Amino acid sequence: MTRPTTDAVLEIDALSKTFGGVTALDAFTMSVRRGDIVGLLGPNGSGKTTSFNAVTGIFPPSGGTVRFDGADITGLSPQKVYAAGIARTFQRSRLCLPLSIFDNIMIGNHGRLTKGLWFNLMRRRAFRREFEQGYEDARALVRTFSTALADRLFEPVGALPMIERRRIEICRALISRPRLLLLDEPSAGMTHDETTQLMDDILDVRGRIEGLSIIIIEHEMGVIERITDQCVVLNYGRKICEGPYAHIAADPEVQRAYLGAE
């Protein structure tokens, strides 16, 4: 499939976030081309997750602008950012472990569901059609990651191993049909082999969903080298380098940020 990569789906300009006297994000600027996978890198505490939170409305930015598909979404609520077409996962799992795989995925589709009491009680045929469509959509997404898992949608998430939980979290984000997916350390808590499998899944999903752009926060450099089109490196809330993996890996300032000065 030919993916368009010439136009920017996300444009961040001079984005800042302060907490009291601490500057967590310092005039951060980056853009993401439609269809690209961008790696967001940096040592712990460098501002990576803060940038996700500022873009998605969890923290209102202290300065700067965020434009998505040409529209200014700076400071919008998480609900409005989600409705605009941006979905995300979190470093720490946010799954409801006692609930089924299906229930967890449909939580991510709440904005598209008819939730009125009258509809659910009185329009039973319409309710059933909506349920069946949701089931087919969820099953198709899960099948992208695991055919076996697609036949277990009504099993509790708490019974799954970590890699399957991470897959379900990504499916929950994708069920809303976003144009931009933010992945915050999706391989956290997994083995090297599991990480390799999950990255294969992410590449497969990018290939299947036309125009989907992804920003991934990840510490394992082998992962970043393998799956990204571009990389952006943060340190102390400030962008210190961007470009293809080979360029940022050879940059002396990036090396100092990760390894320290001699």
Task: With beta carbons less than 8 A apart as the criterion, state whether 9 and 34 touch.
Answer: yes
Distance CA 251, CA 258 (A): 11
User: Token pair for residue 102?
Assistant: 């299906």
Q: Mark the ranges of the chain whose per-residue pLDDT is less than 50.
A: 1-6, 262
Residue range(s) occupied by CATH 3.40.50.300 in the chain = 8-85+178-259
> How much is the pLDDT for 6?
47
pLDDT at 118: 54
For 8-85+178-259, CATH number? 3.40.50.300
- Which ranges of the chain would DSSP assign to H, the alpha helix? 48-55, 78-84, 101-107, 117-122, 124-145, 162-174, 192-208, 221-227, 245-249, 252-259
Residue 192's nearest CA partner among 233, 225, 163 is: 163
pLDDT tens digits, residue range 194-216?
A: 999 999 999 999 998 989 999 99
Q: Give the model confidence (pLDDT) of 73-90 as tens digits.
A: 999 999 999 999 999 999
Task: Give the pLDDT score at 223.
Answer: 87
Cα atoms found within 13 Å of the Cα of residue 148, Cβ hemisphere only: 2
What pLDDT digit, counting tens, does each position of 32-62 carry? 999 999 999 999 999 999 999 999 999 999 9
